[in-house]
A and B are shown apart, each in its own frame.
Chain A
Amino acid sequence: MVFSLPDELERLSAVLRREPATNATADALDTNMGRFRSQWINNRQMRGSQLPLPVPRNQGLHPNGCELQASYLDFQFEWKEEEGAPWRAEYQVRVEGYLDADGALFELQDHWRLDTDMYAPCRRVAADGNANPSKEPHPLFHFQRGGHAQDAFAAVDFLPANPCTVSGVWKGLMQSPGPRIPVVPLDPILAIDFCLSQNDGTIWRRLRNFPEYLDLIESAQSRLWLPFFAQLQDQKFRRTWFGPSMLV
């Protein structure tokens, strides 16, 4: 029997509503619940955008002195009952903030994502991961910084850039596409839990004091991760998950 992800999201929303910091997340889930339900019934898919999250705690932020305003999660999840892992499980997190530097106001964004390569036909054909067309190995489910949303953000009025209207010698943070770090697959329930835990551990721990929250997360982990861990006994699956770097 296929699990009912919309029902579980509805239960998650009820718990999130009990914590003031996640009220907006619950609102967004409830607002989109009808759409989630029809997507799930029709195609075993779910697509969400701009799901508000509590902002990360103000610690170790760059640039110094910046203020955080908002954080959002976009996701695409696709389940095929015959597969042992999600067909598609993609999550994109965006954090927004600003830096008021007296004469200049900087609009700031941070982007990170959890990607899956399984939906790509080339990847499906290459069950052992050897025929991955990317020069750098892309693990089946991987963490990576950036993404298309970041590319779009950095395309206009972005500093540092060339040409540049600011003169002088300055330092800036640079970002390259790697590394693509293998991660376990997540469904939207586990992704929300993961994002909450990474953005603000205090809020996340308050949620974990609700038995309803813990039960939902435990059920989702049992459903998705126990079969996944079992499949890791198979070397072919290990290589599909980790990519061609996996030799054992």
Chain B
Amino acid sequence: MIGADTPLAGSTIAQRLELLSPIIADLVPLQMPKGSLGERPWRYCLLTKESQQQLIPVDPARAVKVKPRSSMPTWLDPLYAALSIALQNREDPRLDKEDLRRLQIYIREG
């Protein structure tokens, strides 16, 4: 059941489908694109949006933080890049180097 103690933000794609299917008909589970890891896609890949105007879902736990050039208001969601896209753009100074290092262990999965 969806509620204050079980926020949607904590659920995986499969769990969301299970929770929402009774109230929304014909729900189709999101397929994570190749190179975007994780099961909780609540953010999008900024680099893909900038370069191809496409929205690729990312799981913030398995994505690389993008540091904005200027400070953002706190009500805006943090920015991310899908791991594979970030690896193709390693030289982008906005990419969080610590995240790139932290996520190394998942590269083979992607």
- Which positions in A face B, CB cutoff 8 Å? 7, 14, 17-18, 20, 205, 208-212, 214-215, 218-219
Contact = CB atoms under 8 A, between A and B. Distances in A.
B78 interface: yes
Contacts of B75: 18
Given A211-B40, A211-B60, A215-B40, A7 B9 contact: no
B10 A208 contact: yes
Nearest to B80: A212
28 contacts: A7-B102, A14-B78, A17-B74, A18-B75, A20-B74, A205-B4, A205-B5, A205-B7, A208-B7, A208-B10, A209-B7, A209-B8, A209-B9, A210-B9, A211-B9, A211-B10, A211-B42, A211-B43, A211-B59, A211-B61, A212-B61, A212-B78, A214-B7, A214-B9, A214-B10, A215-B61, A218-B10, A219-B61
Interface of B: 4-5, 7-10, 40, 42-43, 59-61, 74-75, 78, 98, 102
Nearest to B76: A18
Contacts of B9: 208-211, 214
Closest 10 CB pairs of A and B: A215-B61, A214-B10, A211-B42, A211-B9, A205-B4, A18-B74, A208-B7, A209-B7, A209-B9, A212-B60
Contact residues of A: prevailing secondary structure: helix
Interface-centre pick from B8, B74, B98 (highest chain A CB count, 10 A): B74
Contacts of B40: 211, 215
Contacts of A215: 40, 60-61
A219 B61 CA distance: 10
Contacts of A214: 7, 9-10
Contacts of B59: 211
Given A211-B61, A215-B40, A7 B98 contact: yes
